Structure 1
Amino acid sequence: MTHDPDWRAVESVPLGSPAAVHRLRVLTVNTHKGFTALNRRFILPELREAVRSTGADLVFLQEVLGVHDRHASRYDNWPQTSQYEFLADSMWSDFAYGRNAVYPDGHHGNALLSKYPIRQFRNLDVSITGPERRGLLHCVLDVPGHAEVHGICVHLSLLESHRQLQLKLLCQLLDSLPDDAPVIIAGDFNDWQLRGNTALARRQYLHEAFEHHHGRPARTYPARFPLLRLDRIYLRNATSRAPQILGSKPWTHLSDHLPLSVEVHLSPPLKAAPYL
């Protein structure tokens, strides 16, 4: 893990002493760079409205464009900002971006949008070999009532051998976190054989929201006829309620993956304020 290994601080406006929060609505979505499946149509504005409609507190994004000069000159409705800033708009006050893939026209990576302050973040390069670039975007969130909440946005390799090495790097990251800190890991694991799912559950005391409630991770790919269980939401020091696959219109037409949402209940620290 070598790319952008250092923490980056994020300036936030002090909010005083708000009431403790122990419940978060989490959404994860592979944005497919703002295009429909097979890149037939640019639909980022529609995607923004759909994401806003969920009322999520935290949004984990994969395959989101930071810059793309050729697309910007081709599409009249291309945003003036990065895609993650366009999606955040006025609803999510804080956001972090981890650039993974860089090419002549621009770059893309993972992003996290948050209604709560992002204290600091870092992007960890977990690319193995070859042209495929992958990263783990690790954010430390200031959620009232908790010393720190960790959010990790994941997009792993298409290759099984690479995924296994990347999962080991993810486990190393998890080993470095405080034992009692709530951790939310979400994104596109590309783990269609479910091998990584077993390893994470056994080694890191994580539970995957959909497996916990339904016995298996959710089918999310391809969006219109989902067969593969690629996208996940893992939790530690937290519980999950009401996990949902957003599998109807407009979501089936907004990406090649279906989004996942879940209500996360953070384990309160000792002497925490009552649940909201």
Structure 2
Amino acid sequence: MTTLRVATYNIHKGVQGVGPLKRLEIHNLGRAVAALQADVVCLQEVRAYHRRLQHRFGHWPAGDQAQFLAPPGYHAVYRTNAVTRHGEHGNAVLSRFAVLAHGHQDVSDHRFEQRGLLHVALAVPGGGTDLGVAGAARPLAAPASAQTVHVIVVHLGLIHASRQRQVQALGRFMAAHVAPDAPLIVAGDFNDWGERLHDALAALGLRSAAQRVPTFPSRWPLLPLDRIYARGLTVRSLATPHGGGWGRWSDHLPLIAELELP
């Protein structure tokens, strides 16, 4: 394998609309995620449960949304970022590759926004078998001919100063948990509508493609809030799907990248 297809998608907790017009879109999102045909899907605003909405919508899926959205044969890893009055939500990774390790880091900057990083190490066919996790033991089940690719899913804050500090926290997490020569993908909702974080991310060795790809709001995308960066891989292209129901199922469009492995 020389290329990876990676997508990032803020699914808005699987629900759209407000008040009596609120509607459950998680079933449509399941079909949408499958249609992306991505090797790895990074999700934000995913729910494990919400007591009030589960009662309101009789067709709420059993189990957490990450497991429900995973196409057949995919692995799902989910961790909570925020706990609310009636439920919670967080980040997830869906992968058609085996999961070697995973972890989570709270990067909340103030008490009004709960934010976190989800880190997943994947065994991607081809290359060596070095796990690449600083200070971690190599799992006994590591495939015989695979290289480890690390994925970190982010959902940064609404205030620029908070996002700056969260990028600094991301850098500390990378230094502690990802070896410098290990391929790394950082994807998610950066909430960086002013596009002011590129230099800070570049200082961490993270690069993306040159295209400016708006993803928000999904009906009339103007802002490139969703991003895919890489270190040790090359982002060859970025794109969003259009038409159909993409403007209805979430307030964000998914962003899809083709990445080239070393």
* TM-score category of the 2 structures, normalised to the smaller one: 0.7 to 0.9
Task: State the match for 2:12 in structure 1.
Answer: 32
Contact 2:154 2:186 in 1 (8 A): yes
Moved over 4 A (4+): none
Q: CA deviation at 1:37?
A: 5.1
- How well do the aligned residues superpose, as a CA RMSD in angstroms? 1.5
- Aligned-partner residue type, residue 83 of structure 1: Q
Task: State the match for 2:145 in structure 1.
Answer: none
- Aligned-partner residue type, residue 125 of structure 1: D
Task: State the match for 1:44 in structure 2.
Answer: 26
Q: Aligned equivalents of 1:240 and 1:132: distance in 2?
A: 30
- Aligned-partner residue type, residue 199 of structure 1: A
Provide TM-score, normalisation by structure 1. Answer: 0.83
Q: Does 1:195 align with 2:196?
A: yes
User: Is there any run of 5+ residues in structure 1 with no aligned partner, and where?
Assistant: 1-20, 268-276
Task: State the match for 1:126 in structure 2.
Answer: 107
Deviations 1:153-173 (A, max 9, x none): 010000111111101011112
Q: CA deviation at 1:66?
A: 1.0
Q: Does 1:85 align with 2:67?
A: yes
Q: CA deviation at 1:89?
A: 4.6
Q: Aligned equivalents of 1:230 and 1:204: distance in 2?
A: 19
- Size of the alignment, in residue pairs? 240
- Aligned-partner residue type, residue 89 of structure 2: H
Q: Aligned equivalents of 2:48 and 2:255: distance in 1?
A: 23
Contact 1:37 1:256 in 2 (8 A): no
Q: CA deviation at 1:174?
A: 2.4
Task: State the match for 2:139 in structure 1.
Answer: none
- Aligned-partner residue type, residue 55 of structure 1: Q
- Aligned-partner residue type, residue 144 of structure 1: P
Contact 2:33 2:71 in 1 (8 A): no
Q: Does 1:117 align with 2:112?
A: no
Task: State the match for 1:252 in structure 2.
Answer: 247
Contact 1:182 1:237 in 2 (8 A): yes
- Aligned-partner residue type, residue 184 of structure 1: I
Q: Aligned equivalents of 1:113 and 1:37: distance in 2?
A: 26
Deviations 1:198-240 (A, max 9, x none): 2112x1222113xx2x2x3x21111111122211000111112
Task: State the match for 1:138 in structure 2.
Answer: 119
Contact 2:229 2:235 in 1 (8 A): no
Task: State the match for 2:179 in structure 1.
Answer: 178
Q: 1:184 to 1:142 in 2, by over 3 A?
A: same
- Aligned-partner residue type, residue 197 of structure 1: H
Q: Aligned equivalents of 1:22 and 1:140: distance in 2?
A: 18
Q: CA deviation at 1:47?
A: 0.8
Q: Aligned equivalents of 2:50 and 2:205: distance in 1?
A: 39
Task: State the match for 1:22 in structure 2.
Answer: 2
Q: Aligned equivalents of 1:240 and 1:227: distance in 2?
A: 22
Deviations 1:42-74 (A, max 9, x none): 111011101101211100000000111111111
Q: CA deviation at 1:247?
A: 3.1
Q: Aligned equivalents of 2:171 and 2:11: distance in 1?
A: 25
Q: Aligned equivalents of 1:89 and 1:114: distance in 2?
A: 9
Q: CA deviation at 1:86?
A: 0.4
Contact 1:52 1:91 in 2 (8 A): no
User: Is there any run of 5+ residues in structure 2 with no aligned partner, and where?
Assistant: 131-147
Q: CA deviation at 1:144?
A: 2.0
Deviations 1:93-139 (A, max 9, x none): x1111201112322110000110111111110000112210000011
Alignment of 1:211-230 (within 5 A): 212=210, 214=211, 216=212, 218-230=213-225
Alignment of 1:144-163 (within 5 A): 144-146=125-127, 147=130, 148-163=148-163
- Secondary structure of 1:80's counterpart equals coil
Contact 1:62 1:110 in 2 (8 A): yes
Provide TM-score, normalisation by structure 2. Answer: 0.87
